[in-house]
């Protein structure tokens, strides 16, 4: 299970990133990146309110970003694709030393 504490820690360490989406990855606007995947996590991130990921990160408190990512991941797990959620979970566990990168 991916907790808010895991998200916060990995945002600070750069394993979870807030980036500008790319059409190559099927995203546009500001997205969350874990491993090779990107997903939307905040309705405002895709709006014209923020020009880019850097501006978003300066304007939005870390705890709100963590909450939004947590909610998005739970939605992915419960409503969209449980296998995608498992990928994120395994990816983050790998860097905690619980699995080998080859397991991803």
pLDDT tens, residue order, the chain (104 aa): 999 999 999 999 999 999 998 777 677 789 999 999 999 998 766 567 888 999 999 999 999 999 999 999 999 999 999 999 999 999 998 766 555 445 54
Full-model pTM: 0.85
Distances (CA, A) of 6 to 14, 27, 69, 71, 89: 12, 24, 11, 13, 10
Q: Could you tell me the residue ranges of all domains in the chain?
A: 4-97
Predicted confidence at residue 42, as pLDDT, reads: 83
């Amino acid at each position: 299970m991916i907790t808010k504490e895991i998200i916060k820690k990995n945002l600070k360490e750069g394993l979870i990133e807030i980036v500008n989406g790319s059409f190559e990855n099927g995203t546009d606007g500001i997205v969350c990146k874990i491993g090779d995947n990107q997903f939307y996590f905040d309705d405002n991130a895709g709006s014209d309110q923020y020009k880019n990921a850097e501006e978003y990160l300066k304007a939005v408190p870390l705890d709100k970003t963590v909450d939004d990512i947590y909610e998005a991941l739970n939605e992915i797990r419960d409503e969209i694709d449980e296998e995608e959620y498992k990928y994120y979970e395994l990816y983050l566990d790998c860097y905690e030393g619980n699995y080998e990168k080859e397991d991803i």
